[in-house]
Amino acid sequence: MAYAPIPSPAREFTASRRLAALADALDPHTFAALAALRGPAPRLCLELGAGTGSVARRLAEQFPRARVVATDLAEPPARSPLGNLEFVRHDVRCDGFPEGKFDLIHVRYLLCDLVERDRILHDMVSWLAPGGRLVVEEPDHSPVYDSPHRAYRTVTLAMVEAQHRYVGTDSLWARELPAHVAATGLTDIATHRTSTTVATGSPMARYWRLSLAELRPLLPPGLDIPAALREADSATFRDHGFTTVRVSAVRRG
Ligand SMILES: C[S@@+](CC[C@H](N)C(=O)[O-])C[C@H]1O[C@@H](n2cnc3c(N)ncnc32)[C@H](O)[C@@H]1O
């Protein structure tokens, strides 16, 4: 069943705050990983499902001589903040790019939501130039399953289930991300896992709350949401939330 939320300014406001909270939680880790990249500077970079565009901007700043193409399903911003950064509307499920075009492709928190994720991963590899690098970062929700916070765990797992049912999200696909990337034939595979803690006031806690607000109409009746919110609001609350699995790999030859 497709999830077709009724468009409304309030929902769009929540969705954009949610994207911003996610970027706040993940950007420090992503930026550090991009800064640590070795090898020749890329000349053409692709950022897929760019969201707020924060990673695309960082790529354009880090590689000022490169051109960065940032895509999203959403309407691109009227004006790009940087001369070497271009935003384009693009549906990665059906819009392609020429083979061998990009020196660096980065994608974060996109494939988990797309049922065509395995085929798209192979497409992305075909868009890499020889010697080009792919960096994929996707969420693995497995730490939620054994969270010691019962109300938080129950509600979060109901959110995971609703996203699976209405969007097609696979919240455990990233658990096997290194194997998925290896299956594409890329080499020099490096894997990293980052915990993005949910704690009072943390960006990930903001993301969790905004996700709950968004998904609430889709959750089953009888869930004790107030108890989960009380738990997560406690000053001592700390939970792994989910981990981000990052895989970096190179197209040889
Ligand atoms: C969870 S957000 C992640 C945003 C950003 N990558 C980040 O990590 O901050 C997923 C983004 O992918 C975009 N998106 C969803 N489906 C897409 C598609 N089929 N093609 C391109 N972008 C898509 C959404 O509009 C949204 O901006």
Q: pLDDT tens track of the chain, all 253 residues?
A: 444 554 566 667 778 999 999 999 999 999 999 999 998 999 999 999 999 999 999 999 999 999 999 999 999 998 999 999 999 999 999 999 999 999 999 999 999 999 999 999 999 999 999 999 999 999 999 999 999 999 999 999 999 999 999 999 999 999 999 999 999 999 999 999 999 899 999 999 999 999 999 999 999 999 999 999 999 999 999 998 889 999 999 999 7
Fill in the DSSP letter of residue 6.
Answer: P
User: Which residues, other chains included, contact 58 with Cβ-Cβ below 8 Å and sequence gap of 6+?
Assistant: 27, 30, 31, 34
State which ligand 1 atom lies nearest to the alpha carbon of 93.
19
> Which pLDDT belongs to residue 209?
96
Q: Tell me the sheet residues that pair with 190.
A: 248
For the CA of 47, the closest atom of ligand 1 is 6
Range of the domain at 206: 9-250
- Contacts for 1 with CB less than 8 Å, ≥ 6 apart: 165, 166
Most ligand 1 atoms within 8 A of CB, residue of 18, 27, 58, 72 to mutate: 72
The closest of 163, 172, 179 to 247, measured between CA atoms, is 179
The tokens for 72 are 């999203």
What is the number of structural domains in the chain? 1
Would you say the CB of residue 53 lies under 6 angstroms from ligand 1?
Answer: no
Taking the C-alpha atoms of residue 129 and residue 253, their distance in angstroms, rounded to an integer, is 9
pLDDT score recorded for residue 189: 97
Q: What is the pTM of this model?
A: 0.95
- Residue 144's identity, in one-letter code, is V
Q: Ligand 1: distance of its center to the CA of 230 in Å?
A: 30
With b for 16 or more beta-carbon neighbours within 10 A and e for fewer, the 174-211 pattern comes to bbebbebbeebebeebeeeebebebbeebbbbbbbbbb
Residue 2 lies in a domain: no
| CATH number, residue 47 | 3.40.50.150
Per the domain annotation, does 1 fall within a domain? no
With CA atoms as reference, report the closest residue to 139 among 177, 174, 104, 114: 174
Query: From the CA of 17, how far away is ligand 1's center (Å)?
Result: 14
Q: Are 70 and 97 in contact (CB under 8 A)?
A: no
Please list, in sequence order, all residues whose beta carbon lies within 8 angstroms of the beta carbon of residue 196, skipping any fewer than 6 positions away: 25, 26, 29, 203, 204, 241, 242, 243, 244
> How many CA atoms within 13 Å lie on the side-chain side of 193?
16
Indicate if ligand 1 lies below 6 Å from the C-beta of 108.
yes
SS3 content of the chain, % helix, strand, coil (to 5): 40, 25, 35
Give domain status of residue 3, yes or no: no
3-state DSSP assignment of residue 124: helix
Residue from 97, 110, 207 whose mutation best tests the ligand 1 pocket (most atoms within 8 A of CB)? 110
Q: Would you call 198 helix, strand, or coil by DSSP?
A: strand
Q: Is 56 in the pocket of ligand 1 (CB under 6 A)?
A: no
The SS3 assignment for 164 reads: helix
Tell how far the Cα of 145 is from the centroid of ligand 1, in angstroms: 25
In a domain, 198, yes or no: yes
